[in-house]
Structure 1
Amino acid sequence: MAWKTRRMRRSLPALSFLLFAALSDTASAAQAAPADRRLSQIDTVVVIYAENRSFDSLYGRFPGADGLDHAPASTLRQRDRDGSLLPELPPIWGGLTGRGVTPVVTQDMTAHLPNAPFQVDAAEGFNVPDSLRTRDLWHRFYQNRMQIDGGNNDGFVAWGNAGAMPMGNWAGAGMKMWSIARRYTLADHFFMGAFGGSFLNHLWLICACAPVYPDAANSPAKDLIARTTPDGKALALAANSPRSALEGPPKFVHDGNLTPDGYAVNTMQPPYRPSWNPAPEGMDAAFSDPSAPTTLPPQKDTTIGEQLTQAGISWAWYAGAWNDALKRGLKPSPPEFQPHHQPFNYYAAYAPGTAARSAHLRDGGMDGVTFLADIDAGRLPQVSFYKPQGNLDQHPGYANITSGDAHLATLIEHLEHSPQWPHMFVIVTYDENGGLWDHVAPPKGDRWGPGTRIPALLISPFVKKGHVEHTPYDTTSIQRFLNRRFSLTPLRGLVDRDAAIAAHGQRPLGDLTETLLPAP
């Protein structure tokens, strides 16, 4: 298959990298003390986790960023499944706008687009306002690896289900969060921690690990095991798959949620409510049906939560509409609560009835009102994670850009006026790219990632103002920041990721302290 034959050259020869690393180590040692003096002034860390947007799709035109205007022409074109350049983009299969959305942009209206990125909200183009939902795309583990194609990023159309749609982007300048990014720091080389979708990337945020389904081949989930190519890096293509992306989406022998060796990489349901898998009759209603194929058994790995607790650091995961989901169940109408966006709910340490669950898993309230109340009252714990409810998280398909953008901006406004603001550090980022293309190659890492580039904003009295930070980061950089600020021991996944990055001769991933102002 053509995607396997092309490999991106290393950005630095090995000798140059070793020299760079030595100089970096010297510089890092000199800068450590000032950075740590700044860090010691930060008492409250807030992580806000939005949904499914690549960097280029929202911030590709941001001034000073490594965006679309800086992309080499060779990175803008997509290849077909045989490795040849596509003469044009295929139509957007099923149309551009989501179900029930007016105006409708049909599949036929998207035919014969040039092989290049296109602006969804351009007046001279489709003129679809950011307040409308556009269609969802595949954002799955193996597909993301195939789309990245070793760093060429030229397989997003060939190995997606939405034709041209991965190449869509939005102007961005009208977003409220653009204005906030102009006042603080925008990181333009921040990558999702794991390949694929929300499920794996949420768990990566707190654990830097891939969840395990024990003895998967003999379990209720045995039919969810994917069929892959012999090297395990891609899905096996079905004999009746269209040869060209111009003819339709690819077909695979068997796409699944589990790897052949039993890791869960695509969406599984948590073992505890809220979950799409309710308890069977006669079982504790707080638990999901363990016999359902998509119920993931409770996970036992250590998370950042236990590390913070052991260090005496207060923390909480605020989930928008959590209590509503527990009371009403999961409804297809707003707020579109997503159980697989609640990572601690997969871990035995936070099972129903445990003290840890009561202490750390909190309802963020409808529209985030409970989280906002804690912000305004100055009662946030030392570390807070906040997950917006579905209709406010910007996920294509069931959410739009405008509503989520307004919600994020409201959160920042309240945080800036919080009694805790003078000693606060806020990270706003996205779980993953949602299947949307980006032109920057992710660092070469390990089996699990990093994946596609995503937006990240660093907001604090202590960060550089009006700054674009080019240091390479991924989702694990959030843990690196917490580790450094609170003197925590890195989880095994971070150690493995760093070793893999170094083995590929890549620049080390940063810990976000690079965005801090020089210490006085």
Structure 2
Amino acid sequence: MNKGLGRAAAVAGIIGAIFTATAGVCAFAGDLDKIENIVVLYAENRSFDNLYGAFPGANGLANVSAEAAKQADRDGSPLPRLPPIWGGLTAPGASPVVTEAQTRHMPNAPFALDDPKGLDTPLSVATIDLVHRFYQNQMQINGGKNDRFVAYGDTGALVMGHYDGSKLPLWKVAQRYALADNFFMAAFGGSFVNHFYLACACEPEYPNADQSPAKGLISAVEPDGTSLSLVSNSPGSALEGVPKFVNDGTITPGPRFYAVNTMQPPYQPSRVKPARGGDPAYADPGAAFTLPPQTEPTIGGLLSAKGVTWAWYAGAWKAALADSEGAVKNPAIRFQTHHQPYNYFAPMAPGTAARAEHLRDGGLNGAEFIKAIDAGALPQVSFYKPQGSLNEHPGYAEVLSGDEHLAEIVAHLEKSPQWGHMVVIVTYDENGGFWDHVPPPKGDRWGPGTRIPALIISPFAKKGHVDHTLYDTTSILRFITRRFDLPVLSGLSERDAAMAGWGEKLGDLTPSLDLTSP
């Protein structure tokens, strides 16, 4: 969160704001001690409307008018139609191929990507990737109007696409348990920063970035602090092409510098190779895209201090440690180094006991994680990140395979010896650039961003329930904090204080549970 808020600021005022913000959302009847295991399954890049916009009882596409869904051009005027999907819809190597020409003259409205009478691109076909970055997300949200997703995207019409999610196995799981339809990604932008929020509820910092190898990565931002500066010859209309920015970087302007778009871990596996003659377990610290080791407290560190067991299971972690470049490029793996948040933190540096204990191999296709599930050997808190080919990220993965994989994981969890006292949360790191019609709540400088799906799966989950409680990704940390009586991360307190000023309240997932029965 914004360290510039000052952690020495009026403690009594912050605590009062927190109590105000959380009053009513934390009231809960039941015994949380019944929950012995918490499992978080973390997928990629889907807005709620993109997959669950037609879910019965949810706030979906049926609840938005045609007028409210219309996208505006960069000058604020309504677009007469959607621009084409620049470069074509389908990712390289995907079949069937949908060309740019086939996407021209589409109405200014949401559309079904898998409509047989339309683009006929099923859930099993990978689309091209969409821009999903810190400043663009704020420009697209446009103060809550959600009407500039096309204008400040880079794929034309694709941002308005959605699927018939009822064909997905996790849809059927959601029907049996609880689906949260008011759950937002914690931070504006992409995967990198939202993984940090799952670990620490904090924004990664790059001290003195203006005097570092990363100085060229500092974004050029307008005085409003939320918009990128456009070059003079940037297309004036979304119908003419994608916007062009002075410097769409990875770091905010100073005086304190924060990494808001993808940077690489300081430890291997990393997309940055070791320095020549340097430690092969480290990324080159002199490379522009290497983020310095982070030192903010994490939920993992708080769990360890309390004696609560935990682990981050990364699909194909062992393969990536052995050959990072090969695991990244292999289309059957597509390992993503920036999806491993604890690999950025100094307490998890190579050679530490904490790294050996908590950063575990999920195995190829999740095989090692499944073994731990079946053996009843999961720690008290587990995070599972699928390998890239199974994470549903546009550009290199499609929805169906990843959804089937997570449904398989859930099926194993339901048969696990630990199932009787377990809560499983399935969610997505961020929206991947896809439009959603629900405006995010007003928070702080960093978020919340666009709405995403979240499932709460447990013997204690309310069955067939759609939970309308306001949540964001940090609600998972709130739930873990409450269950194990941990100190509250400063980022959680700061967000609560910011949202209290707007009269908003973030829940901790307990409204989806019923622990009153024996």
Q: Could you say if the C-alpha distance between residues 119 and 345 of structure 1 is closer, same or farther in structure 2, counting changes exceeding 3 Å? A: same
Report deviation, 1:75.
2.4
Write the deviation string for residues 65-123 of structure 1: whole angstroms up to 9, x where unpaired: 00001113332110000001100000000111011222111111100110000000011
Aligned ranges 1:406-417 → 2 under 5 Å: 406-417=404-415
Write the deviation string for residues 408-454 of structure 1: whole angstroms up to 9, x where unpaired: 01000000000000000000000000000000001000000000000
- Residue 500 (structure 1) aligns with: 498
Q: Could you say if the C-alpha distance between residues 342 and 23 of structure 1 is closer, same or farther in structure 2, counting changes exceeding 3 Å? A: closer
Q: Which moved more, 1:276-285 or 1:186-195?
A: 276-285
The secondary structure found in structure 1 opposite 2:192 is: helix
- Residue 448 (structure 1) aligns with: 446
Q: Could you say if the C-alpha distance between residues 87 and 450 of structure 1 is closer, same or farther in structure 2, counting changes exceeding 3 Å? A: same
Write the deviation string for residues 199-221 of structure 1: whole angstroms up to 9, x where unpaired: 00000111111111110001000
Q: Which moved more, 1:67-76 or 1:131-140?
A: 67-76
**Structure 1, unaligned runs of 5 or more:** 1-20
1:293 to 281, 288, 292: 288
1:66 to 35, 48, 59: 59
- Residue 218 (structure 1) aligns with: 211
Matching residue's letter, 1:378: G
Aligned ranges 1:210-359 → 2 under 5 Å: 210-261=203-254, 262-331=257-326, 332-333=329-330, 334-359=332-357
2:460 to 459, 462, 478: 462
Distance in 2 (alpha carbons) for counterparts of 1:428 and 1:274:
25
Distance in 1 (alpha carbons) for counterparts of 2:301 and 2:404:
33
- Residue 52 (structure 1) aligns with: 45
The secondary structure found in structure 2 opposite 1:429 is: strand
Report deviation, 1:248.
0.2
- Residue 508 (structure 2) aligns with: 511
Distance in 1 (alpha carbons) for counterparts of 2:396 and 2:20:
48
Distance in 2 (alpha carbons) for counterparts of 1:238 and 1:479:
40
RMSD (Å) for aligned C-alpha atoms: 1.4
Report deviation, 1:306.
0.6
Report deviation, 1:236.
0.4
Distance in 1 (alpha carbons) for counterparts of 2:154 and 2:22:
42
Report deviation, 1:329.
2.3
Q: Does 1:112 pair with 2:109?
A: no
Report deviation, 1:28.
5.7
- Residue 170 (structure 1) aligns with: 163
Q: Could you say if the C-alpha distance between residues 313 and 68 of structure 1 is closer, same or farther in structure 2, counting changes exceeding 3 Å? A: same
2:121 to 120, 128, 148: 128
Aligned ranges 1:84-233 → 2 under 5 Å: 84-233=77-226
The secondary structure found in structure 1 opposite 2:311 is: strand
Matching residue's letter, 1:130: L
Q: Is the 8 A contact 1:330 1:336 kept in 2?
A: no
Distance in 2 (alpha carbons) for counterparts of 1:443 and 1:134:
29
Report deviation, 1:518.
5.3
Aligned ranges 1:363-402 → 2 under 5 Å: 363-402=361-400
Q: Which moved more, 1:401-410 or 1:324-333?
A: 324-333
The secondary structure found in structure 2 opposite 1:202 is: helix
Q: Which moved more, 1:308-317 or 1:71-80?
A: 71-80
The secondary structure found in structure 2 opposite 1:468 is: strand
Report deviation, 1:465.
0.3
The secondary structure found in structure 2 opposite 1:385 is: strand
Report deviation, 1:280.
1.9
1:42 to 31, 35, 43: 35
The secondary structure found in structure 2 opposite 1:247 is: coil
Alignment TM-score, normalising by the size of structure 2: 0.94
The secondary structure found in structure 2 opposite 1:364 is: strand
The secondary structure found in structure 2 opposite 1:378 is: coil
Report deviation, 1:53.
0.3
Matching residue's letter, 1:517: D
Distance in 1 (alpha carbons) for counterparts of 2:77 and 2:516:
52
Report deviation, 1:128.
1.0
Matching residue's letter, 1:291: G
The secondary structure found in structure 1 opposite 2:239 is: helix
Q: Could you say if the C-alpha distance between residues 462 and 254 of structure 1 is closer, same or farther in structure 2, counting changes exceeding 3 Å? A: same
Q: Is the 8 A contact 1:337 1:389 kept in 2?
A: yes
Distance in 1 (alpha carbons) for counterparts of 2:66 and 2:149:
16
Q: Could you say if the C-alpha distance between residues 368 and 174 of structure 1 is closer, same or farther in structure 2, counting changes exceeding 3 Å? A: same
Q: Is the 8 A contact 2:21 2:499 kept in 1?
A: no
Q: Is the 8 A contact 1:81 1:243 kept in 2?
A: yes
Report deviation, 1:24.
8.3
Matching residue's letter, 2:378: L
Q: Is the 8 A contact 1:141 1:266 kept in 2?
A: yes
- Residue 13 (structure 2) aligns with: none
Q: Which moved more, 1:97-106 or 1:159-168?
A: 97-106
The secondary structure found in structure 1 opposite 2:369 is: helix
Q: Is the 8 A contact 1:65 1:468 kept in 2?
A: yes
Matching residue's letter, 1:285: P
Q: Is the 8 A contact 2:83 2:106 kept in 1?
A: yes
Q: Does 1:474 pair with 2:472?
A: yes
Q: Does 1:77 pair with 2:77?
A: no
Distance in 1 (alpha carbons) for counterparts of 2:507 and 2:251:
30
The secondary structure found in structure 1 opposite 2:511 is: helix
Q: Could you say if the C-alpha distance between residues 306 and 22 of structure 1 is closer, same or farther in structure 2, counting changes exceeding 3 Å? A: closer
Q: Is the 8 A contact 2:391 2:402 kept in 1?
A: yes
The secondary structure found in structure 1 opposite 2:227 is: coil
Q: Is the 8 A contact 2:21 2:496 kept in 1?
A: no
Q: Which moved more, 1:325-334 or 1:480-489?
A: 325-334
Report deviation, 1:129.
1.5
**Structure 2, unaligned runs of 5 or more:** 1-18
Distance in 2 (alpha carbons) for counterparts of 1:107 and 1:300:
46
- Between the aligned residues of both structures, percent identity stands at 61
Number of residues paired by the alignment? Answer: 495
The secondary structure found in structure 1 opposite 2:204 is: coil
Report deviation, 1:281.
2.3
Distance in 2 (alpha carbons) for counterparts of 1:414 and 1:147:
39
Matching residue's letter, 2:219: A
Write the deviation string for residues 379-409 of structure 1: whole angstroms up to 9, x where unpaired: 0000000000000000001000110011001
